[in-house]
Amino acid sequence: MGVTPSTRQKPDAPRRPRSRYGYDHHWWGEAAPVAPSDHSYWSTTRKPLPGLAFILPLLVAYEAGVIWLGGPSADALRAGADAWVRQGLAALGMTDRWLLPIGLVSGLLGWQALDRRDWRFHPAILWGMAVESLVLAVALVGLSKLVDLGFSRLEGPGLLATPRPSIAPVVGFLGAGLYEEALFRLALIPLLFRGLRLVLLPPLVACTLAVTVSSLVFSLAHHAGAPGEAFTWFAFVFRWLAGIFFAWVFVVRGFGVAVGTHTAYDLLVGWLDWHF
């Protein structure tokens, strides 16, 4: 009786999880592709669409507040990053008031569409994002107090000046959280990362450098130009550290939580200065 050779095939060898350079092909901190059935809070909140839903009330409140308070001089009330980008667009002949907010919304929707992620999410996660943003903002307030304590021993009190109570600074806080995160995190970090990867830097190194350099630009921008704040080492160093903090929140937790954290921090600092 002959022996029939086995027709069973050997299982395919598992794919190597690392590239020839020893790193995953994704940049450090980027979530791996999520299966359609994965609707966990941590995965869902990193998607562009929940981030857009979370920041949309802030965007509407900011734009409405600028128009309501400023009237014909609305542009004078616009937050730094918002004003900087609008000045650049105006130099190119693009002066429509709604171009920037529509561009931000369209960009997030386009990102969601191109990424082919699930468009469904439970609205309850937006409350979780708000709580998470507040917790991270409180942590950053604690960091600011430590930095201020250190600089107060070197060069005297260094607390950042905050305007006295009025609705205008609150509107400005909303704009800063939105447009500074859009400019320095959503736009600049991926651009720097891709450029650094082109020169074959490992993803972890490229991501760390992108975070650090974007945060340095973020800090320096507050002292640039005629309306810029007077330079002090406290303000410069703390904003650099805060930029690194916001940048890692963006990398690890996504754009929506980064905007929420930045906005909550500004509002907390303003409230503390107004009441204490």
In the Cβ-directed half-sphere of 242, how many Cα atoms lie within 13 Å?
A: 31
Range in 23-27, 89-93, 113-117 with the lowest mean pLDDT = 23-27
Higher pLDDT, 223 or 263: 263
Dihedral Cα 76, 81, 85, 90, nearest 10 deg: 10
| Chain-centre distance for alpha carbon 222 | 17
pLDDT of residue 139: 95
Whether 28 is covered by a domain: the verdict is: no
Whether 105 is covered by a domain: the verdict is: yes
Whether 20 is covered by a domain: the verdict is: no
> pLDDT tens-digit profile of 161-190?
444 556 777 888 899 999 999 999 999 999
Instruction: Judge whether residue 8 has pLDDT over 60.
Output: no
> pLDDT tens-digit profile of 110-159?
988 887 667 888 999 999 999 999 999 999 999 888 887 777 666 555 54
CA 169, CA 181: separation in Å to the nearest integer? 18
Mean pLDDT value of segment 68-94: 82
Mean pLDDT value of segment 28-38: 49
Strongest mean pLDDT among 91-100, 164-173, 244-253: 244-253
Whether 66 is covered by a domain: the verdict is: yes
- Burial (Cβ within 10 Å: 0-12, 13-18, ≥19) of residue 80: buried
Could you list the residue range(s) of the whole structural domain that residue 120 is in?
A: 42-275
Question: At 91, is the pLDDT very low, low, confident or very high (cuts 50, 70, 90)?
Answer: confident
Say if residues 194 and 26 touch (Cβ distance below 8 Å). Answer: no
Percent of the chain with pLDDT over 90: 47
pLDDT of residue 16: 45
Helices (H), 167-254: 167-180, 188-198, 203-221, 233-253
pLDDT of residue 17: 46
**Residue-averaged pLDDT of the chain:** 82
pLDDT of residue 20: 39
Mean pLDDT value of segment 218-234: 81
> pLDDT tens-digit profile of 55-68?
999 999 999 999 88
113-144 burial, b if ≥16 CB within 10 A, otherwise e?
A: eeeebbeebeeebbebbeebbbebbeebeeeb
Whether 91 is covered by a domain: the verdict is: yes
Whether 194 is covered by a domain: the verdict is: yes
Whether 124 is covered by a domain: the verdict is: yes
pLDDT of residue 19: 40
Specify the number of domains making up the chain: 1
Whether 236 is covered by a domain: the verdict is: yes
Instruction: Judge whether residue 10 has pLDDT over 60.
Output: no
Instruction: Judge whether residue 245 has pLDDT over 70.
Output: yes
